[in-house]
Structure 1
Amino acid sequence: MTDTPQPLDLDFVRSRFPGLRDDWVFFDNAGGSQTVRDAVDRITEFLFERNVQIGGSYAVSQSAAEALTKGREAAQCLVNAARPEEMVFGPSTTILLQHLAAAMRGQLQPGDEIIVSRADHESNIGPWERLREFGVEIKFWPLNADTARLSLDDLAPLMTDRTKLVCVTHVSNILGRVNPVGEIAEFVHRHGARICIDAVAYAPHRLIDVRAWDVDYYVFSLYKCYGPHTAIMYGKYDLLRELDGLYHYFYGKEKVPGKLEPGNPNYELAYSTDGVVDYLAELGARQGASGSRRERVAVAFGAIEAHENRLTERLLAWLRARNDCRVIGEATNDDGGRVPTISFKFDGVDSGAVARAMDAYGIAIRFGDFHSRRLVEDLGETGGNGVLRVSMVHYNTVEQVDRLTEALSEIVSRVAA
């Protein structure tokens, strides 16, 4: 969605993130965003007022359980799940995907197939690769060399009657292009398989709607979506019930989602999800929204998308105007189908040297392969310390983009001399 009733209220937005300081510009948000105050307030409240184990009969334990329930309900709202029990908490997307692969093992037989995308972060490749030892065949869905996109025409030849799962990213953390996961899910289901989406690079930027897309599993990191270091996995309830349990033997198949949260989730971090969603709902209200919490969150993401599109075009226009650099992936965003995660390289200039020189300007960017090593290898971009990446979110400003490009001009002139 791109329509918004008014420009993003940046004064309000930036006031809600205590970590934002005038002396630093954070353009490494795809590695981890700043944490919104509302999330920190939930953590503090839990630790000071509710910090006991759930499951007790006494009032404080009941209050702790209520906090965990509120966290699940907030996650349900954020992704538009059918019920809060479809929300699984874990330490990171990497761990949640490893848990999912382990819990799915009992459903797989030797000769069954799983398709993974070459454009994915290793978190959505490695756990499935490890199933080879049980006789599962892993196939790779390649990136289309001409379009730098994933194409169903390239996926179709890989699908067989033994294909059980297709794993794909919603947005590549290198290329920044939004993949049409609803269209992909429909194709995969038509061929009798299920789909698992790594949404880490999508969730901070756009509204999530797992039911509209009909995805089976959808995983992202809250610490890249304005919360603390924790992660969330959505799974259709009936599918979660089918999975093997990862907790004690007496956690039966029907104990969803607890059987997938060994040792229990981190209560205070799960509760912080309520703060993240409250912030988004308040932002939506400031943008003129009324109605349900979900409706206000939807309006907030409409405003976020419009603002981020301006940031994206500001940087891409500067990069396109130069004759000494190239954007990795698409250099335009005419259709609004790109998030503000932009990778690029300067000709003959070491990416690491540029990123390290940027430190003196108080601007945080990063270089390398960002754990999407297979993609960077396929693109032939491993030399010169990989690619530079600028990853913006809605609390960044056009003025900060201009500060970045001025610094890049000075650094590249100096380093290349």
Structure 2
Amino acid sequence: MLDIDFVRAQFPAFSEPSLKGRAFFENAGGSYPCRQVTERLDRFYRSRKVQPYYGFEASKLGGEEMDEARSGLSAMLGVDASELSFGPSTTQNTYVLSQAFRQMLEVGDAIIVTNQDHEANSGPWRRLADAGIEIREWCVDPDSGSLEIEALEQLLDQRVKLVCFPHCSNIVAEINPVQTITQLIREAGAVSCVDGVSYAPHGLPNVCDLGADIYLFSTYKTYGPHQGVMVVREPLAQRLPNQGHYFNGGDLTKKFTPAGPDHAQIAACAGISDYLNSIAAHHGCDAQSPHAKAQFVHDLFRAHERELLQPLLDYVMSKDKLRLLGPCDAEHRAPTVAVALSVPGQQAAAELALHGIMAGDGDFYGGRIIEAMGERPEHGLLRLSFVHYTSENEITQLLRALDAVL
């Protein structure tokens, strides 16, 4: 079982006086950073904030720490370090990728997108219609919010070159069967782009096992600084046109980074690996490979989250005033619970704040899925989301606050 006291001791926010008594339930918008990250960021700004990769000591140490971030995360994800790039955000990374595909695709080629996605993995691809690319929409079931495999099969043909879909939605939160979907895409002769932003905070996946050609996530949702991580598997990365400076085209880690990177934030991302390794060690993991350690931690996180999530789902399902979007079974969803109410989501979140609950409200860049399920994005949902560092006491606090507000 996850040692929640050890976990929370790794996060400075839980000893911050201004946050005492407040339970954080908007983790889907961004998690607390772990101390391993904040310590690295502080050290970099104090002693290594120089141009990296030169011959003097501060510069060498800064470059080495940036390399450590890339090698540590890529090893846990089960990919080569050359296949991982950093960017300012996942939205920006996706836009850069879309421009690379725009150069590679031909008029009449097709891309499949979903209406379950965050707009970051939908909008940039839809804009390629302006270049003569056909955009096909894989639509959710309007009652469940699920993406059905049969619906994808009907859209696939020899003209489809790319399929973009989420590992899980930031609203319905259903965990999609990525391996099944990527195999189907591969058999159709297309490549896959998986948005993992809403899944990665609950345990880093093995991208190789998933079969994804592209996997995207954000480190500010995985206990780190505001960066986007982009994995592009080498065969595809070699085919795509260079989007960086002309002299960087031969370096896969720079090929999809048009602007200069944020050295300090990239270096701080090494703290994410430090944190996950510390969790594995504390809980007695004897695995040697980084991705095996990551899988061990993933399973720890998911077990803890499922245990806390099911009572919240049961509570929401028992209330006539609330409509749960997505599965009611904790086994099949991430701990992101979006609900529709008769009152605007903003009003409900403001009332919960009076009871020490920090929750989100709005459309969360998911207006397409909200409309598809018959709700109004402008009315706003209430979103209650957590990660592994959330405690059972905080769930109890949330349920009592919901009782008071409802």
**Secondary structure at the counterpart of residue 71 of structure 2:** helix
CA distance in 2, matches of 1:57, 1:206: 37
Change (3 A) 1:318 1:384: farther
Give identity over the alignment, percent: 35
Following superposition of structure 1 onto structure 2, how do residues 110-121 of structure 1 map, counting pairs within 5 Å?
110-121=107-118
CA distance in 2, matches of 1:239, 1:384: 39
Correspondent of 1:345 among 330, 334, 340: 340
Deviates more, 1:353-362 or 1:320-329: 320-329
1:258, 1:264 within 8 Å by CA — same for their partners in 2? no
2:145, 2:373 within 8 Å by CA — same for their partners in 1? no
Q: What is the letter of the counterpart of residue 104 of structure 2? A: Q
Deviates more, 1:348-357 or 1:212-221: 348-357
Correspondent of 1:37 among 27, 35, 38: 35
Change (3 A) 1:171 1:59: same
2:163, 2:185 within 8 Å by CA — same for their partners in 1? yes
Q: What is the letter of the counterpart of residue 214 of structure 2? A: Y
Structure 1 residue 159, shift from structure 2 partner: 1.3
Residue 146 (structure 2) pairs with residue 149 (structure 1)? yes
TM-score by length of 2: 0.95
TM-score by length of 1: 0.93
Match of 2:254 in 1: 258
Match of 2:87 in 1: 90
Match of 1:185 in 2: 182
2:203, 2:297 within 8 Å by CA — same for their partners in 1? no
Q: What is the letter of the counterpart of residue 161 of structure 1? A: Q
Correspondent of 1:17 among 11, 14, 17: 11
Match of 1:234 in 2: 231
CA distance in 2, matches of 1:65, 1:330: 45
What CA RMSD, in Å, does the superposition of the two structures yield over aligned residues?
1.5
Structure 1 residue 250, shift from structure 2 partner: 2.4
Q: What is the letter of the counterpart of residue 107 of structure 1? A: M
Q: What is the letter of the counterpart of residue 118 of structure 1? A: N
Q: What is the letter of the counterpart of residue 341 of structure 1? A: T
CA distance in 2, matches of 1:294, 1:250: 33
**Secondary structure at the counterpart of residue 361 of structure 1:** coil
Residue 316 (structure 2) pairs with residue 322 (structure 1)? no
**Secondary structure at the counterpart of residue 174 of structure 1:** coil
Match of 1:137 in 2: 134
Structure 1 residue 147, shift from structure 2 partner: 4.2
Deviates more, 1:140-149 or 1:33-42: 140-149
Residue 282 (structure 2) pairs with residue 286 (structure 1)? yes
Following superposition of structure 1 onto structure 2, how do residues 63-78 of structure 1 map, counting pairs within 5 Å?
63-78=61-76
CA distance in 2, matches of 1:263, 1:172: 29
Match of 1:222 in 2: 219
Correspondent of 2:357 among 360, 363, 373: 363
Following superposition, which runs of at least 4 residues in structure 1 exceed 3 angstroms of deviation? none
CA distance in 2, matches of 1:35, 1:368: 24
Following superposition of structure 1 onto structure 2, how do residues 404-415 of structure 1 map, counting pairs within 5 Å?
404-412=398-406
Q: What is the letter of the counterpart of residue 167 of structure 2? A: H
CA distance in 1, matches of 2:350, 2:43: 38
Query: Number of matched residues?
Result: 401
Structure 1 residue 175, shift from structure 2 partner: 0.6
Match of 1:415 in 2: none
1:227, 1:273 within 8 Å by CA — same for their partners in 2? yes
2:203, 2:294 within 8 Å by CA — same for their partners in 1? no
